[in-house]
Chains A and B, each alone.
Chain A
Amino acid sequence: MSQLSLKVEFGGGIELLFSKKHTITVELPALVPTDDSTDDQSLMEDTAKEKKPANLAYLVLYLRDRLLTERAELFVENGTVRPGILVLVNDTDWQLEGEGDYELKDKDNIVFISTLHGG
C-alpha cells in the first residue's frame, strides 16, 4: 500500500482559495520526500530522494503548492496553517493528534475550516 487516498474538505470560506470546491480527493504516496518538495518528479516512486511517511504538515504544503488557486498567505504562514484556520482529522481537532506530525492514513478525512470571517 504505497498510495493514500484522502478526503479533504474546506469550510468557513476557505474553499474560496481552492476554486470554491468544498470537497476534494487527494492522492498521495505513503512516503514523501524528506525535503518536502511537492513536484511530480519528487513524488515518483523511483526518485533518489530520501523519504519519510506523509504527514499533515506535508499535506498542507502539498495543498498550497498544487491546489491552492489564490492568496497562499491566507492559508499557510511560517510553514503551517495560518492562525484562525482549524484542522480536523477524522472529526477530531488536530491538536489532539499531534498537529503537523500526524501521520496520514489511507481514507483519512481532513477538514480545514477558516474562522477569519468571524462576523
Chain B
Amino acid sequence: MTSCGNPNVEKDALMERRPKYDGKTKICVKCKENQGNVVIRHAVYCKSCFFPLVQTRFKRTLEPSINPAPDGPRRKALRAAGSLAVGFSGGTCSMTLLDLVAKTYLTTRPTGNESMKGGTDHPRNSERGVWKGKPTVCYVEVCGAFSGQIDQTEVIRAIVERYPNCPFEFIPLRLEDSFNPSWWSSVGGGNAVDSARSFGLDISDEELRLTHISQSTPPDSSALTALKAYLSSVPTLTAVNSTIQTLIRLLLFHTAAAHNASHLLLGTSLTSLSVNLISGIAQGSGFAVAEEAKEEWTPRPARGLPVRVVRPLRDVGVKECAIWNWWAGLHPVDRPWYPSGAGKNAVDSLTRDFIFGLETDYPATVSTIARTCGKLASKEDSDERCILCERPAQRRVQDWKAQISIRSYSDATPAVSGITKPTHLSDDEISNLTQAKQESKPEPSLAPYLCYACHTTLTSRSIRGMTAPLSAQRAKETPLPMWVRSTLDGVVAKDSVDSEMIQSKKLTSQDIKSQIEQYLIDE
C-alpha cells in the first residue's frame, strides 16, 4: 500500500496475485503418506492430519490460560477457577470453536473415529471437568438493530442443543438487553430502579454532556426503543458497527460474570483478529490493541471472578475453520455478509476485504499482523477503564485529543451541578437546588470516562455526516447502556467531589477554521 487509497482497488495493482502452491508435492507434510487435501499457509495436509492440527493449535492457545496461575516446569492438571462461557454467533469460526470445545473437553467417552472425524487425539479423562459446572453458550441476537432482519435465536439454540447429552446451557441474549434493567439486575448489576438518577447523553455536540433524563428508568418494553435511539445517534456507519460490537462484548462479559465464569471464549480467528486489529487501529483504539489479543476483565460492579477473555482460534485462520466445518458436517448460520445498515464501505468492511485478499495471496502476512499487534504495548500503563467498552483507557481522553487535535478547555469547575448527593437533602430538594444552576453552568460530560476509540465513535460526525437526522430533543436525551449508567452513578459523584470535572468549551466552526487556517492545503 502506497497511500490511504482503497485497498480493494489498489492491491492488485501493487501485488500480483500468484498461485499459492507451487505444486511440487501433493503428499501430506505430517504423515508423509497420504495425498494432501488442503493447503494451509503453504503446507499440504491430508484430511486425517488436518483435524489434530487445528485441535492442537486450539489447545496450545487456550490451555496455558486455564489454571489461575501459570504452570511451573511441570504441567499440572487443568483446573479453572470458575465456569466456562462461550460467546457464540453462529458464524464460521464460532461454529468451529464450539465444536472444538465440545469434542476436546466435553465428550464423555471417546468413541473411535466418530468423536473426532479422522483424528487421533482423543480427549483424555484428565481433561474432563476442567471448568466448574455446565458451560454456558451465550448468543446475542442483533436483529433489533436492523429493520428486516430475522430473529435467529431458535436456529442457534438448535445448533447448540444438538450436541449429545446437552453439554451446554444455552443463554439467548438480545442487543437491546444493554438497555434493559431486568437483564441488568439478572446479571447482578444492581437494581437500576433504585438508582439515584438517570443520565442521558447529549450527543448533539462533541462535548458529550450528560443530561438528566426526566423519567428515571425506562420499562423493559422500551429497551428496544432505547437501543434504536442509541444507534441512530451514533454518527457514522463505521461507528454503528463498532458500537454493536461493543454492546455484544459487554453483554457477554456481564453474562459470563453472572455465571461465575473464569473464562469467556470468543471465536475470533487469526483472520478476523487481524481484521479487528487493523480496523480498530484505524478507528482509534490503538491504546487497547494488546488487549484485543488477550485480556482479563474484572467485573464492575464487583462480583464473580475476573473473566479471562480468550480467543483460542487466534492461531487458526478462517480457511481452516471453514474446512473444519465442512468436513465435520457443520453449517454456519446464513446471514447476509453486510447487514443492512452496516455499510459496505465502513472501515471494518474495507479492512476485511483487504485482509481476505492478503490471506489468499500472502497467507503469512496475516499472521504477522496478529503477532505484531500482540507485541504492541502502550508506553503508559493504565489503570483507567473506559466506561463504555471497559477496555484500558488513557486517563482523560480529552487531554490526549487536546495534544493531537484542535480543542480548548475552560478551567475545571467545582462541582455544583447536582451530581453529588448531599445526604441531608432529598432528591426533590436537590433537583430544585440544582435546576437553576444547570441553566448557567455546563453539565458533566461523559468524555473524561471514555477511551479514545469510543470518544471518536460517538463524535466522528464532523467527518462523515450523520446516518440519520435526529430530533433535537432525542439527540439531547440519548439513553446509555446499563453498565455505563451504573458506573457513572459511582464515578461521576466521586470525581465531582474531587473537583476534577473537566468541562469543555464549545468551539464555533469559525474558531476552528481560524485555528487551522495555516494547515489547510489548497485543493
Which positions in A face B, CB cutoff 8 Å?
11-13, 15-16, 20, 74, 78, 82-84, 86, 88, 91-93, 95-96, 98-99, 111, 113-119
Using A13-B337, A96-B21 as known contacts, say yes or no to A83 and B92 having CB atoms under 8 A apart. no
B47 to chain A: closest residue by CB: A91
Q: Is B326 an interface residue (CB 8 A)?
A: yes
Assess whether A119 is in contact with B337, with CB atoms less than 8 Å apart: no
A91 to B326, CA, bound (A): 10
A4 to B47, CA, bound (A): 27
21 contacts between A and B (CB under 8 A): A11-B322, A11-B331, A13-B334, A13-B335, A74-B337, A83-B353, A83-B359, A84-B360, A91-B47, A96-B21, A96-B38, A111-B326, A113-B323, A115-B92, A115-B319, A117-B337, A118-B91, A118-B93, A118-B269, A119-B89, A119-B90
Assess whether A113 is in contact with B17, with CB atoms less than 8 Å apart: no
Using A11-B326, A118-B93, A118-B269 as known contacts, say yes or no to A96 and B331 having CB atoms under 8 A apart. no
Q: Is B469 an interface residue (CB 8 A)?
A: no
A36 to chain B, nearest CB (A): 18
A58 to chain B, nearest CB (A): 18
A73 to chain B, nearest CB (A): 10
Assess whether A115 is in contact with B322, with CB atoms less than 8 Å apart: yes
Assess whether A16 is in contact with B322, with CB atoms less than 8 Å apart: no
Q: Is B332 an interface residue (CB 8 A)?
A: yes
* Partner pick for B37 among A15, A20, A93, A117, CB 8 A cutoff: A93
A95 to B89, CA, bound (A): 29
Using A118-B269, A119-B91, A119-B94 as known contacts, say yes or no to A92 and B334 having CB atoms under 8 A apart. no
Which positions in B face A, CB cutoff 8 Å?
12, 17, 19-21, 23, 26, 35-39, 44, 47, 89-94, 267, 269, 271-272, 275, 318-319, 321-323, 325-326, 331-332, 334-337, 352-353, 356-357, 359-361
Assess whether A117 is in contact with B91, with CB atoms less than 8 Å apart: yes
Assess whether B356 is in contact with A116, with CB atoms less than 8 Å apart: yes
Residue among A91, A92, A115 facing the most chain B CB atoms (10 A cut-off): A115
Assess whether A119 is in contact with B93, with CB atoms less than 8 Å apart: yes
Residues of B within 8 A of A13 (CB): 332, 334-337
Using A11-B326, A91-B37, A92-B38 as known contacts, say yes or no to A83 and B357 having CB atoms under 8 A apart. yes
* Partner pick for A113 among B39, B322, B336, CB 8 A cutoff: B322
Assess whether B326 is in contact with A113, with CB atoms less than 8 Å apart: yes
Assess whether B92 is in contact with A118, with CB atoms less than 8 Å apart: yes
Using A16-B334, A83-B360, A113-B326 as known contacts, say yes or no to A78 and B12 having CB atoms under 8 A apart. yes
Residues of B within 8 A of A20 (CB): 334
Using A117-B92, A118-B91, A118-B272 as known contacts, say yes or no to A96 and B360 having CB atoms under 8 A apart. no
* Partner pick for A115 among B20, B271, B331, CB 8 A cutoff: B271
A67 to chain B, nearest CB (A): 18
Residue among B39, B93, B353, B360 facing the most chain A CB atoms (10 A cut-off): B360
A38 to B222, CA, bound (A): 54
Assess whether A96 is in contact with B359, with CB atoms less than 8 Å apart: no
Using A83-B357, A117-B92, A119-B94 as known contacts, say yes or no to A92 and B37 having CB atoms under 8 A apart. yes
A15 to chain B: closest residue by CB: B334
B36 to chain A: closest residue by CB: A96
Assess whether A12 is in contact with B332, with CB atoms less than 8 Å apart: yes
Assess whether A84 is in contact with B90, with CB atoms less than 8 Å apart: no
A93 to chain B: closest residue by CB: B38
Residues of B within 8 A of A15 (CB): 334
Assess whether A117 is in contact with B332, with CB atoms less than 8 Å apart: yes
Residues of B within 8 A of A92 (CB): 35-38
Residue among A16, A20, A117 facing the most chain B CB atoms (10 A cut-off): A117
Residues of B within 8 A of A91 (CB): 37, 47
* Partner pick for A116 among B35, B326, B352, CB 8 A cutoff: B352
A117 to B334, CA, bound (A): 9
Residues of B within 8 A of A83 (CB): 353, 356-357, 359-361
